């Protein structure tokens, strides 16, 4: 399918189609929609190499993800890909496993002009090293919110969300609230633990136990919960920093012959589809994962088009979803 045929299908000029594809010049909204509809209908794929030669851009975005097996990360990547494709970009996905050597290898794509910008979802503690490697290239940090620095970022207020959950459990009469946390190199883990501690302290609750899962997985969540259940005094509520960990905790509680929420209430975090698949269904803090991904792309494309754009920090809304587990 040629650009001329796209123009005929859309009922517009070849120049208009070219402006839509290359994001150059002004196009009336109705004409843009007609061109996009014609492109979708005909499954037209623009010649990326030709576009790169004309525009000095690759129309590719590098996405570094620390753990693509994490359902939250997968949802964010889905939002990134949707927004990128809507704007004529494709993504290259690298599952780094928080391994800086893998990140360094992927970032060689920058020097080769193979990508126009980067979106990272690595641990906050990795940012200084990433900054050295990325330099002045367009870059957005996603899901790990930074209060300062030169990197634009998108995230939520993890402290407020955590505080809400703990206060909710206290209001329901829970006296022994445990936290299942994960890797403290991630800022979200530190902030959620800070929110947990602050509310317990404000309410005069001396009982405070944090169990650290070995990894962000279902099995690790189950193992952490089993450890909590072996204690002399078991919790009557558990807050897990991810739905995946919470799902594992649910299984451990059920296997111990206990019921939820009567014996132990459980709350997760992220609002992934997993929260509705488990039994009982999981109360959780829902992050706007798709919107986080889309906003990260919007910030990055603005940085690509306007390199002198000031650093932007976007705090997005979260919501608590109450279900049968708590």
Dihedral over alpha carbons 263, 269, 273, 279 (to 10 degrees): -10
Considering the domain architecture, whether residues 132 and 73 belong to the same structural domain is answered as yes
Helical (H) or strand (E) element with 277: helix 274-277
For 181, the enclosing helix (H) or strand (E) is strand 177-181
**pLDDT score of 277:** 96
- Tokens 């006296």 belong to 175
> Per residue in 92-131, is it b (16+ CB within 10 Å) or e — as a string?
eebbbebeeeebeebbebbeeeebbbbbbbbbbebbeebe
* 324 in any annotated domain: no
Task: Supply the DSSP string of 32-64, one letter for each residue.
Answer: HHHHHHHHHHHT----HHHHHHHHS---EEEEE
Q: What is the pLDDT of residue 52?
A: 47
> What's 92's domain CATH number?
3.40.50.2300
86 with 144, same domain: the answer is yes
C-alpha 160 chain-centroid distance: 18
- Would residue 165 count as lying in a domain? yes
Pairing between β-strand 313-316 and β-strand 60-65 as defined by DSSP bridges: unpaired
Q: What's 18's domain CATH number?
A: 1.10.260.40
Residues 6+ apart with CB under 8 A from 312: 152, 153, 299
Our measurement of the distance from residue 27's CA atom to the centroid of its chain's CA atoms, rounded to an integer in Å, reads: 32
| Pair 185, 297 in one domain | no
Structure tokens at 240: 């897990």
User: How many distinct structural domains can be found in the chain?
Assistant: 3
Same domain for 202 and 278?
A: yes
Same domain as 199, residue 266: yes
Share of the chain above pLDDT 90, in %: 61
Q: Tell whether 31 and 67 lie within a shared domain.
A: no
Residue 170 belongs to domain spanning: 158-286
Rounded to an integer, what distance in angstroms lies between the CA atom of residue 54 and that of residue 225? 57
Please, where are the H alpha helices in 87-217?
100-106, 108-111, 127-134, 158-171, 187-202
Which pLDDT value is given to residue 130? 77
Query: Is residue 325 situated within a structural domain?
Result: no
pLDDT at 250: 98
Tell me how far apart the alpha carbons of residues 217 and 275 are, in angstroms, rounded to a whole number: 14
Q: What is the pLDDT of residue 46?
A: 58
Is residue 91 located within the same domain as residue 108?
yes
List the chain residues with pLDDT less than 50: 49-50, 52-55
Predicted local distance difference test score (pLDDT) of residue 50: 47
């Amino acid at each position: 399918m040629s650009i001329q045929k796209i123009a005929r299908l859309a009922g517009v000029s070849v120049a208009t189609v070219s402006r839509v594809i290359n994001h150059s010049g002004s196009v009336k909204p109705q004409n843009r929609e007609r061109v996009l509809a014609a492109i979708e209908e005909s499954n037209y794929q623009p010649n990326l190499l030709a576009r790169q030669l004309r525009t000095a851009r690759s129309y590719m975005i590098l996405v570094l993800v620390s753990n693509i097996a994490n359902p939250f990360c997968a949802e964010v990547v889905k939002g990134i890909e949707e927004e990128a494709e809507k704007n004529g970009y494709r993504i290259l996905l690298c599952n780094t496993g928080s391994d800086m050597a893998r990140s360094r290898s992927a970032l060689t794509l920058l020097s080769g002009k193979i990508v126009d910008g980067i979106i990272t979802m690595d641990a906050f503690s990795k940012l200084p090293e990433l900054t050295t490697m990325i330099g002045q290239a367009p870059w957005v940090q996603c899901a790990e919110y930074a209060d300062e620095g030169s990197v634009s970022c998108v995230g939520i207020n993890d402290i407020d969300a955590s505080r809400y959950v703990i206060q909710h459990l206290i209001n329901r009469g829970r006296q022994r609230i445990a936290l299942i946390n994960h890797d403290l190199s991630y800022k979200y883990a530190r902030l959620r633990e800070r929110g947990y501690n602050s509310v317990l302290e404000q309410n005069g609750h001396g009982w405070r136990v944090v169990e650290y899962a070995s990894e962000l997985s279902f099995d690790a969540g189950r193992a952490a919960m089993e450890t909590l259940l072996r204690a002399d005094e078991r919790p009557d509520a558990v807050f897990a920093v991810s739905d995946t960990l919470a799902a594992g905790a649910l299984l451990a509680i059920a296997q111990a012959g206990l019921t939820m929420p009567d014996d132990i209430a459980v709350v997760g975090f992220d609002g992934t589809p997993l929260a509705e698949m488990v039994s009982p269904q999981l109360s959780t803090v829902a992050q706007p994962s798709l919107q986080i991904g889309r906003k990260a792309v919007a910030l990055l494309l603005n940085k690509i088009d306007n390199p002198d754009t000031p650093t932007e920090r976007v705090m997005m809304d979260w919501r608590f979803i109450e279900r049968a587990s708590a």
